[in-house]
Amino acid sequence: MTHRKLGLAFGGIQRPFTRLPNALHLGPTGARLWATYVHTRPGMEGSFEFVHKINIPRLFSISIILNGKPLSLELKSHMWYPSHLETTFENNGLSLTESKFITWDDCAVDVVEALNLRSSPVSVSLRVDYGYGPHELAPAPAWCFRCHGETVYVRSGVTGTADSVLLAPGASAKWTVASALAFDANDAERSLRRWLNQSDPLDVHISDYEAWFDGVPKFACSNPAFERMWQYRWYLVRRNLANPARGHIRHPLFYEGRGVKMALDPWNPQGWEFSKLIPFSTPFHILEARWHSDPSACFGEILNLADNRQDDGLFRCLYIDEIGGSYTDFTAWSAWQLYLVHPDRQWLEQIAPEMVRQVDGTLKVFDDDADFLPTVTNHGSTGKEYQPSFFYKSGYPDRP
């Protein structure tokens, strides 16, 4: 997969967020920052997450002032790409196009262009309001919040003229609006300046984003649908790549998913989320992602588990500030398969003792009849919750 080809493979489609009306998917994710969805209006509004699910409703909103009056904009079209989202709004002789994306260094960027469709000049200006509540604005472009025991710093800004610009018929004006988030204020400012100082931030971002896919093995066959499926599978691997580098998760890894089974109320994420380290899915991540030329996330996911192994030997679900439950899994075998592809002896020697303890712990906790097959006494430990075959064989409903 070379630069720009990923978007051509399965991008350029409409992709609404099915749980809500007037909401869209945003494909790219940062090391810590991503969006569950974005609203169909200018700016970065919707539900934004940092490390784990938070439901930040707004990083910034954008309004257009046309000839001195606020302009109500209506969504005309949108196009989803793995690397970014393109939206077009139009009303009263003015077209507004956006290219929205999130960078790996956790900056939410919106490249905005206003085009005069009239036959006479118009005066246009951009108004930007910053986070953080659905009805509450941040006091300044620089603000912070607390989550998972940490302070997160937000730094925002705009490039382009702050004054009204007179657009002749057919003329356009462009702005870049961005918000960067980090655990360190200087890191947030550094990321913000990097993207505001780009002459073509979208082009730079697409190059950065698709460079990761250069490490994906090539696959070709006679069926284009299978080739497209191959590319989309690797998009999903990249979408779940993360690197909180904090607390219990010090190494890069793959989250089980970015989807949620929880409420979308602003700043109040109640329910179950998959954006964490879940050991049940670890071996599946490893077996798939081991074929990438960069094994750091595969190595890192296992190191995170090993660093936080409990006294019973089992690997646990991990947030940066919390250690959760365990599953039956085959992480040790997948680690060996990873080593066969990427034979890093130092890494193997580091994790091998923890793999032994994990296997011994699994047999001790789950193999009560010593036949080397885990005894499934709870459907949750298998990772296949509520599977009908489990209940059929377990004596349900007498033994629910």
In a domain, 212, yes or no: no
Residue 247 pLDDT greater than 90, yes or no: yes
Considering the domain architecture, whether residues 112 and 249 belong to the same structural domain is answered as: no
Number of separate domains in the chain = 2
C-alpha span between 109 and 173 (Å, rounded): 17
Structural domain contains residue 350? yes
Q: Is residue 235 part of a domain?
A: no
Mean pLDDT of 7-20: 76
Residues 347 and 275 in one domain: yes
Is the pLDDT at 363 greater than 70? The verdict is yes
Would you say residue 159 has pLDDT above 90?
yes
Give the confidence band of 5 by pLDDT, cuts at 50, 70, 90: low
Is 273 in contact with 318 (CB distance < 8 Å)?
Answer: no
Spatial separation of the C-alpha atoms in residues 240 and 255, rounded to whole Å: 5
CB 77 within 8 A of CB 45: no
**Does 334 have pLDDT greater than 70?**
yes
Same domain, 69 and 169: yes
pLDDT for 271: 84
Q: Is the pLDDT of residue 264 over 70?
A: yes
Which residues are CB-contacts of 193 (< 8 A; sequence separation ≥ 6)? none
Most confident of 159-173, 341-355, 370-384: 341-355
* Same domain? 52 vs 117: yes
Please say whether the dihedral angle defined by the alpha carbons of residues 242, 292, 210 and 14, taken in this order, is positive or negative: negative
Does residue 1 surpass a pLDDT of 50?
no
Give per-residue pLDDT as tens, 335-361.
999 999 999 999 999 999 999 999 999
CB contact at 8 A, 73 and 63? no
For residue 185, give the CATH number of its domain.
2.70.98.40
DSSP labels, 256-307? S-S-EEE---TT---EEE-SSB-TTTHHHHHHHHTTSS--HHHHHHHHHHHH
Does 177 fall in a domain? yes
According to the model, what pLDDT value does residue 19 have? Answer: 82
| Residue pLDDT, tens place only, 305-332 | 999 988 999 999 999 999 998 888 899 9
- Kindly state whether residues 295 and 180 are assigned to the same domain: no
Q: Say what the pLDDT of residue 2 is.
A: 43
- Pick the closest to residue 32 from 252, 299, 214, 194 (CA basis): 252
Structure tokens at 257: 């998913």
Are 25 and 95 in a shared domain? yes
Residues 188 and 271 in one domain: no
Final residue before a domain boundary, out of 167, 197, 227: 197
Mean of all residue pLDDT scores within the chain? 91
Residue 129 covered by a domain? yes
Decide if pLDDT at 134 tops 90.
Answer: no
For the record, the structure tokens of 49 come out as 């997450």
Q: Are residues 76 and 178 in the same domain?
A: yes
Does residue 223 lie in a domain region? no
Which residue shows structure tokens 């439950």? 325
Decide: 107 and 91 in contact? Cβ < 8 Å: no
129: its two tokens? 């309001």
152 and 101 within one domain: yes
State the number of CA atoms in the 13 A half-sphere of 276 facing the CB. Answer: 23
| Phi/psi at 325 (5° precision) | -85, 180
Residue 30 lies in a domain: yes
Domain membership of residue 216 (yes or no) is no
pLDDT above 70 (res 398): no
Segments forming the whole domain that contains residue 283: 240-366
Same domain, residue pair 182 and 275: no
| Higher-scoring residue by pLDDT: 72, 375 | 72
pTM beyond 0.85: yes
156 with 248, same domain: the answer is no
Q: Judge whether residue 11 has pLDDT over 90.
A: no
Same domain, 15 and 152: yes
